[in-house]
Amino acid sequence: MKRKLFAVLCGGIALALILAGGRVLPTRAADQAKDDRKADPSQEDSGRDDLPLRDFMRQKLEASNMVLEGLCTDDFDMVKEGATRMNSISNSERWRVMNDAVYRQFSGDFQATTQQLVEAAEKENMDRATLKWVDATMSCIECHNFVRGIMVAEQPDSR
Ligand code: HEC
């Protein structure tokens, strides 16, 4: 069991690294995000909802890494904190970037999974928390693949 858990976590770490590498969405988008940061003075003000969309979205990555760290160090408070952040980001107005039925479905799944992750952390159930974190990580990738498809279909330069 321990070994299985470890394997799952390692897979998760690899996924997280891929996400951190900005390969989730086209690199062009990551470069653009850097430019936005330089150009936009409101960047210094870290009030969460004032952030440009990509920075707002990037908070999911930090929250997810927090959960991973909590899982690796047996720190359920940390798991809960990260999961709560992921959940509240997905409940925010800004999350609803498109009014598409499929996007809403992905959003709903992500909200439900992160909520279950919060509950698993509260119950200090390591196996369930690990499973839910992996589920949440899968939905990061699935939703991004979907979003990327839509964005390529629309004019990419209008963003
Ligand atoms: C329901 C859909 C959905 C889910 C689930 C989702 N995201 Fe996103 N994510 C988006 C959208 C939409 C954007 C904004 C795309 C853009 O503007 O380039 C985004 C952007 C991002 C970015 C910024 C990329 C860049 O260009 O800098 C990161 C990082 C990110 N998400 C991480 C995550 C992580 C980590 C998870 C899972 C814990 C996750 N996302 C789950 C929809 C989603």
| Ligand 1 midpoint to CA 47 (Å) | 19
Q: Which of 27, 36, 37, 57 to mutate to test the pocket of ligand 1 (most atoms within 8 A of CB)?
A: 57
What is the spatial distance between Cα 65 and Cα 71, in angstroms, rounded to a whole number? 10
**pLDDT value at residue 8:** 57
Whole-number Å distance, alpha carbon 120 to ligand 1 midpoint, is 24
Query: How much is the pLDDT for 154?
Result: 75
The tokens describing 128, both together, are: 């369930």
Positions of the chain with pLDDT under 50? 1, 10, 14, 17-47, 158-159
Residue nearest to atom 1 of ligand 1 (CA): 107
Gap between the Cα atoms of 16 and 72, Å rounded:
14
Give the pLDDT score at 85. Answer: 97
From 17, 24, 85, 99, mutation site for ligand 1 pocket: most ligand atoms within 8 A of C-beta: 24
Neighbours of 27 (CB within 10 A): 10
First to last CA, the chain: 46
**What b-and-e string marks burial along 40-68, b requiring 16 or more CB atoms within 10 Å of the CB?**
eeeeeeeeeeebeebbbbbbbbebbebbb
